[in-house]
Amino acid sequence: MSTYDIGFPKLGILLENLPNGVSVFGFWIAFYGMIMAFAMVMGYLLAAWQAKRTGQDPDLYLDFALIAIPVCVVAARIYYVIFSWNLYKDNPLQIFNVRNGGLGIYGAVIAAIITAVIFSRVKKVPLGLLVDTGCIGLITGQIIGRWGNFFNREAFGGYAGNSLFAMELPWDEAKLHMSTEAALTLRQYISADNTILVHPTFLYESLWNLCLLIFLLIYTRHKKFDGELFCIYMAGYGLGRFWIESMRTDQLLLWGTSIPVSMIVAAVMVVTGIGFIFWKRRK
């Protein structure tokens, strides 16, 4: 078990000797995995609540969750491995070790959409209504799941300076979760006690998604067509992720380029979401 201090000096918060997991009967369980499991359960529960709130059968979303969750976990892992192949090419068996992280949310989102399309046809459920309800659970899972990155000391940004939310990490730990180029750039900001202040981008994304979730729940009663909530989710999440991804020091890059693949997918989500809303309203 590894422990490190994590602080938010501007907020007067210091968490000393914070572990990244716990041993249960000799078996190591990372907090990352525990939080991801909790995120999935809460995502389903909120989707079921949304279904009941909108006059649907909540059991339908249990059936969907039992299929979608394992599919999305596998897809999220595949997405991460594809764009981080250098980490696994010399030891492919590590692909199956997910206890310490390594999930790409966009893989899960893409898999969720494909699963929803197939599920709606099999169950003869309107796709728009299904994804409107499902996206409530999806973004709930994203809000909670990002805190797995906190315990893994990953998914953070560059030097935060005087930012209110600046997060203080030991440099020896921080540099393990950033690209070589980012590490070389940030070395100049290492403090005398060998720590560095970075942007907690996992926190930014979690808070952004929370605001988006609140908006979606409020807007539910005012939506103009089935599928609109999902379009808003795509545009809203894509917009936030594009901005936040630009700060990350551990970006997944498109092969052979310096282009962050998540920014490309985020831009596609924004254009698709907004474009479909305009197209639907003009009909």
Annotated binding site: 146
Sheet with 167-170: strands ordered across: 13-19, 3-8, 167-170, 195-198
Count the Cβ atoms, other than its own, within 10 Å of residue 38: 15
